[in-house]
Protein backbone atom coordinates (compact mmCIF):
# COMPACT_ATOMS: atom_id res chain seq x y z
CA UNK A 1 0.00 0.00 0.00
CA UNK A 2 2.82 2.40 0.85
CA UNK A 3 4.01 2.17 -2.74
CA UNK A 4 0.65 3.35 -4.07
CA UNK A 5 0.41 6.04 -1.43
CA UNK A 6 3.81 7.39 -2.44
CA UNK A 7 2.97 7.11 -6.14
CA UNK A 8 -0.36 8.88 -5.77
CA UNK A 9 1.16 11.65 -3.65
CA UNK A 10 3.90 12.19 -6.22
CA UNK A 11 1.35 12.24 -9.04
CA UNK A 12 -0.85 14.73 -7.20
CA UNK A 13 2.15 16.92 -6.43
CA UNK A 14 3.18 16.94 -10.10
CA UNK A 15 -0.28 17.95 -11.28
CA UNK A 16 -0.44 20.76 -8.70
CA UNK A 17 2.99 21.93 -9.84
CA UNK A 18 1.93 21.96 -13.48
CA UNK A 19 -1.27 23.81 -12.63
CA UNK A 20 0.58 26.37 -10.53
CA UNK A 21 3.08 26.96 -13.34
CA UNK A 22 0.22 27.37 -15.84
CA UNK A 23 -1.50 29.89 -13.55
CA UNK A 24 1.64 31.96 -12.97
CA UNK A 25 2.47 31.99 -16.67
CA UNK A 26 -1.11 32.97 -17.60
CA UNK A 27 -1.08 35.90 -15.17
CA UNK A 28 2.23 37.06 -16.63
CA UNK A 29 0.81 36.67 -20.13
CA UNK A 30 -2.18 38.89 -19.30
CA UNK A 31 0.14 41.81 -18.56
CA UNK A 32 2.59 41.02 -21.37
CA UNK A 33 -0.12 40.85 -24.04
CA UNK A 34 -1.40 44.28 -23.06
CA UNK A 35 1.93 45.67 -24.26
CA UNK A 36 2.75 43.11 -26.94
CA UNK A 37 -0.49 41.67 -28.40
CA UNK A 38 1.50 40.13 -31.25
CA UNK A 39 2.80 37.57 -28.75
CA UNK A 40 -0.56 35.76 -28.69
CA UNK A 41 0.62 32.96 -31.03
CA UNK A 42 3.49 32.33 -28.63
CA UNK A 43 1.02 31.98 -25.76
CA UNK A 44 -0.91 29.39 -27.72
CA UNK A 45 2.28 27.43 -28.30
CA UNK A 46 2.92 27.47 -24.55
CA UNK A 47 -0.62 26.21 -23.97
CA UNK A 48 0.09 23.27 -26.26
CA UNK A 49 3.36 22.60 -24.43
CA UNK A 50 1.47 22.51 -21.13
CA UNK A 51 -0.87 19.87 -22.56
CA UNK A 52 2.14 17.97 -23.93
CA UNK A 53 3.59 17.92 -20.40
CA UNK A 54 0.29 16.56 -19.08
CA UNK A 55 0.31 13.91 -21.79
CA UNK A 56 3.79 12.85 -20.70
CA UNK A 57 2.65 12.69 -17.09
CA UNK A 58 -0.36 10.59 -18.09
CA UNK A 59 1.80 8.19 -20.08
CA UNK A 60 4.22 7.76 -17.17
CA UNK A 61 1.26 7.01 -14.98
CA UNK A 62 0.08 4.34 -17.42
CA UNK A 63 3.56 2.81 -17.66
CA UNK A 64 3.89 2.61 -13.89
CA UNK A 65 0.51 0.94 -13.46
CA UNK A 66 1.19 -1.48 -16.31
CA UNK A 67 4.55 -2.50 -14.86
CA UNK A 68 2.84 -3.08 -11.52
CA UNK A 69 0.31 -5.31 -13.32
CA UNK A 70 -2.53 -3.22 -11.90
CA UNK A 71 -5.97 -3.53 -13.46
CA UNK A 72 -6.12 0.27 -13.17
CA UNK A 73 -3.70 0.36 -16.11
CA UNK A 74 -6.66 0.13 -18.50
CA UNK A 75 -8.01 3.32 -16.95
CA UNK A 76 -4.68 5.04 -17.42
CA UNK A 77 -4.47 3.84 -21.03
CA UNK A 78 -7.88 5.24 -21.93
CA UNK A 79 -7.17 8.45 -20.06
CA UNK A 80 -4.02 8.91 -22.14
CA UNK A 81 -6.04 8.30 -25.32
CA UNK A 82 -8.61 10.87 -24.17
CA UNK A 83 -5.85 13.42 -23.66
CA UNK A 84 -4.53 12.72 -27.17
CA UNK A 85 -7.94 13.64 -28.59
CA UNK A 86 -7.99 16.70 -26.32
CA UNK A 87 -4.57 17.74 -27.63
CA UNK A 88 -5.80 17.50 -31.23
CA UNK A 89 -8.77 19.68 -30.26
CA UNK A 90 -6.40 22.15 -28.58
CA UNK A 91 -4.34 22.31 -31.77
CA UNK A 92 -7.45 23.19 -33.77
CA UNK A 93 -8.57 25.80 -31.21
CA UNK A 94 -5.12 27.38 -31.03
CA UNK A 95 -5.50 28.97 -34.44
CA UNK A 96 -1.94 28.01 -35.28
CA UNK A 97 -3.35 25.97 -38.14
CA UNK A 98 -5.30 28.15 -40.58
CA UNK A 99 -8.79 26.68 -40.86
CA UNK A 100 -10.54 29.91 -41.82
CA UNK A 101 -11.33 28.43 -45.22
CA UNK A 102 -13.66 25.98 -43.48
CA UNK A 103 -15.23 28.22 -40.84
CA UNK A 104 -14.38 31.34 -38.85
CA UNK A 105 -15.57 29.58 -35.69
CA UNK A 106 -12.71 27.11 -35.42
CA UNK A 107 -13.93 25.83 -32.05
CA UNK A 108 -16.78 24.09 -33.87
CA UNK A 109 -14.22 21.94 -35.71
CA UNK A 110 -12.83 20.69 -32.41
CA UNK A 111 -16.19 19.36 -31.19
CA UNK A 112 -15.63 15.80 -32.56
CA UNK A 113 -12.24 15.47 -30.83
CA UNK A 114 -13.53 16.77 -27.51
CA UNK A 115 -16.71 14.68 -27.85
CA UNK A 116 -14.56 11.54 -28.01
CA UNK A 117 -12.60 12.75 -24.98
CA UNK A 118 -15.79 13.45 -23.00
CA UNK A 119 -17.19 10.02 -23.93
CA UNK A 120 -14.07 8.37 -22.56
CA UNK A 121 -14.30 10.38 -19.34
CA UNK A 122 -17.93 9.33 -18.93
CA UNK A 123 -16.93 5.69 -19.40
CA UNK A 124 -14.08 5.99 -16.89
CA UNK A 125 -16.17 7.73 -14.24
CA UNK A 126 -19.06 5.31 -14.72
CA UNK A 127 -16.92 2.18 -14.53
CA UNK A 128 -14.85 3.49 -11.62
CA UNK A 129 -17.91 4.38 -9.56
CA UNK A 130 -19.39 0.93 -10.21
CA UNK A 131 -16.19 -0.99 -9.47
CA UNK A 132 -15.69 0.61 -6.04
CA UNK A 133 -19.29 0.65 -4.82
CA UNK A 134 -19.23 -2.61 -2.87
CA UNK A 135 -19.21 -0.79 0.50
CA UNK A 136 -22.30 1.30 -0.34
CA UNK A 137 -25.91 0.13 -0.25
CA UNK A 138 -26.63 -0.98 -3.82
CA UNK A 139 -30.21 0.35 -3.78
CA UNK A 140 -28.95 3.77 -2.70
CA UNK A 141 -26.41 4.06 -5.48
CA UNK A 142 -28.92 2.74 -8.04
CA UNK A 143 -31.45 5.34 -6.91
CA UNK A 144 -28.85 8.10 -7.19
CA UNK A 145 -27.85 7.06 -10.70
CA UNK A 146 -31.44 6.68 -11.88
CA UNK A 147 -32.47 10.06 -10.47
CA UNK A 148 -29.49 11.85 -12.01
CA UNK A 149 -30.05 10.19 -15.40
CA UNK A 150 -33.70 11.27 -15.35
CA UNK A 151 -32.70 14.93 -14.97
CA UNK A 152 -29.70 14.61 -17.31
CA UNK A 153 -31.39 15.38 -20.65
CA UNK A 154 -33.72 18.14 -19.35
CA UNK A 155 -30.77 19.78 -17.58
CA UNK A 156 -28.65 19.51 -20.73
CA UNK A 157 -31.33 21.11 -22.90
CA UNK A 158 -31.87 23.88 -20.34
CA UNK A 159 -28.14 24.62 -20.17
CA UNK A 160 -27.88 24.59 -23.96
CA UNK A 161 -30.77 27.04 -24.31
CA UNK A 162 -29.19 29.35 -21.73
CA UNK A 163 -25.94 29.51 -23.71
CA UNK A 164 -27.03 29.27 -27.34
CA UNK A 165 -29.61 31.11 -29.45
CA UNK A 166 -32.04 29.44 -31.84
CA UNK A 167 -30.85 31.41 -34.88
CA UNK A 168 -27.90 29.09 -35.49
CA UNK A 169 -27.95 26.61 -38.36
CA UNK A 170 -29.62 23.27 -37.67
CA UNK A 171 -26.27 21.47 -37.98
CA UNK A 172 -24.60 23.71 -35.37
CA UNK A 173 -27.62 23.43 -33.08
CA UNK A 174 -27.48 19.65 -33.16
CA UNK A 175 -23.71 19.48 -32.78
CA UNK A 176 -23.63 21.84 -29.81
CA UNK A 177 -26.63 20.18 -28.12
CA UNK A 178 -25.02 16.77 -28.50
CA UNK A 179 -21.79 18.04 -26.99
CA UNK A 180 -23.56 19.78 -24.11
CA UNK A 181 -25.34 16.50 -23.30
CA UNK A 182 -21.95 14.77 -23.14
CA UNK A 183 -20.43 17.46 -20.92
CA UNK A 184 -23.35 17.35 -18.48
CA UNK A 185 -23.22 13.54 -18.36
CA UNK A 186 -19.50 13.75 -17.65
CA UNK A 187 -20.24 16.07 -14.73
CA UNK A 188 -22.98 13.77 -13.43
CA UNK A 189 -20.83 10.63 -13.55
CA UNK A 190 -18.00 12.46 -11.78
CA UNK A 191 -20.52 13.18 -9.02
CA UNK A 192 -21.21 9.45 -8.76
CA UNK A 193 -17.49 8.91 -8.32
CA UNK A 194 -17.31 11.36 -5.42
CA UNK A 195 -20.35 9.76 -3.80
CA UNK A 196 -18.71 6.32 -3.93
CA UNK A 197 -15.05 7.22 -3.37
CA UNK A 198 -15.62 10.04 -0.94
CA UNK A 199 -12.87 12.62 -0.43
CA UNK A 200 -10.49 10.68 -2.69
CA UNK A 201 -12.44 11.79 -5.77
CA UNK A 202 -13.53 15.28 -4.72
CA UNK A 203 -10.86 17.05 -6.74
CA UNK A 204 -11.67 14.90 -9.78
CA UNK A 205 -15.26 16.12 -9.57
CA UNK A 206 -14.02 19.70 -9.18
CA UNK A 207 -12.07 19.10 -12.39
CA UNK A 208 -15.23 17.97 -14.18
CA UNK A 209 -17.07 21.10 -13.02
CA UNK A 210 -14.15 23.25 -14.14
CA UNK A 211 -14.38 21.62 -17.56
CA UNK A 212 -18.06 22.53 -17.76
CA UNK A 213 -17.20 26.15 -16.94
CA UNK A 214 -14.53 26.25 -19.64
CA UNK A 215 -16.90 24.85 -22.27
CA UNK A 216 -19.66 27.24 -21.20
CA UNK A 217 -17.32 30.20 -21.77
CA UNK A 218 -16.46 28.87 -25.22
CA UNK A 219 -20.16 28.32 -25.95
CA UNK A 220 -20.99 31.91 -25.03
CA UNK A 221 -18.32 33.14 -27.44
CA UNK A 222 -19.59 30.86 -30.22
CA UNK A 223 -23.11 32.12 -29.67
CA UNK A 224 -21.80 35.65 -30.23
CA UNK A 225 -20.37 34.58 -33.56
CA UNK A 226 -16.70 34.29 -32.72
CA UNK A 227 -14.13 32.73 -30.43
CA UNK A 228 -13.08 33.70 -26.90
CA UNK A 229 -11.00 36.88 -26.86
CA UNK A 230 -9.38 39.10 -24.27
CA UNK A 231 -9.66 37.93 -20.66
CA UNK A 232 -12.08 35.19 -21.72
CA UNK A 233 -9.17 33.47 -23.47
CA UNK A 234 -7.24 33.21 -20.23
CA UNK A 235 -10.24 32.10 -18.15
CA UNK A 236 -11.06 29.40 -20.70
CA UNK A 237 -7.53 28.05 -20.62
CA UNK A 238 -7.08 28.14 -16.85
CA UNK A 239 -10.38 26.36 -16.23
CA UNK A 240 -9.53 23.85 -18.97
CA UNK A 241 -5.96 22.98 -17.97
CA UNK A 242 -7.07 22.93 -14.33
CA UNK A 243 -9.76 20.41 -15.20
CA UNK A 244 -7.33 18.16 -17.06
CA UNK A 245 -4.76 18.30 -14.25
CA UNK A 246 -7.38 17.21 -11.72
CA UNK A 247 -8.94 14.46 -13.86
CA UNK A 248 -5.64 12.89 -14.93
CA UNK A 249 -5.10 11.66 -11.36
CA UNK A 250 -8.01 9.22 -11.54
CA UNK A 251 -6.20 5.87 -12.17
CA UNK A 252 -3.53 6.32 -9.50
CA UNK A 253 -6.10 7.51 -6.98
CA UNK A 254 -8.20 4.45 -7.77
CA UNK A 255 -5.23 2.14 -7.25
CA UNK A 256 -4.44 3.86 -3.97
CA UNK A 257 -8.04 3.61 -2.74
CA UNK A 258 -8.14 -0.07 -3.61
CA UNK A 259 -4.88 -0.69 -1.74
CA UNK A 260 -6.15 1.16 1.32
CA UNK A 261 -9.51 -0.64 1.44
CA UNK A 262 -7.93 -4.08 1.02
CA UNK A 263 -5.79 -3.79 4.12
3-state secondary structure 24-49: HHHHHHHHHHHHCHHHHHHHHHHHHH
Number of domains in the chain: 1
Can you tell me the distance from the alpha carbon of 112 to that of 117, in angstroms, rounded to the nearest whole number? 9
> Residue 232's pLDDT is what?
85
Phi, psi of 98 (to 5 degrees): -75, 110
Residues 140-169 have a mean pLDDT of: 87
Nearest to 251 by CA among 54, 11, 6: 11
Can you tell me the distance from the alpha carbon of 80 to that of 239, in angstroms, rounded to the nearest whole number? 19
Dihedral (Cα; 164, 169, 173, 176), 10-degree rounding: -80
pLDDT in tens, 197-242: 888 899 999 999 999 999 988 888 877 766 677 888 899 999 999 9
Nearest to 234 by CA among 251, 253, 249, 221: 221
> Residue 9's pLDDT is what?
77
Residue range(s) defining the domain that contains residue 176: 2-261
pTM of the model: 0.91
pLDDT in tens, 168-183: 778 788 888 999 999 9
Can you tell me the distance from the alpha carbon of 155 to that of 180, in angstroms, rounded to the nearest whole number? 10
Q: Is the pLDDT of residue 59 over 90?
A: yes
Sequence-distant (≥ 6) Cβ neighbours of residue 114 within 8 angstroms: 85, 86, 89, 179, 215
Amino acid sequence: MSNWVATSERMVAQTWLLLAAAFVFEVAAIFALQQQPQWMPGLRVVHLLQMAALLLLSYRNFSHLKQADSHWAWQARWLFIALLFAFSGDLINSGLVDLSGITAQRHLLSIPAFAVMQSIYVLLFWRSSSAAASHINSNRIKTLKLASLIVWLPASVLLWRLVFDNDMSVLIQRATLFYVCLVVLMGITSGWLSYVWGRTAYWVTVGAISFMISDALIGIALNQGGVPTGMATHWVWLSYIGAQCLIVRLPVLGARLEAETSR
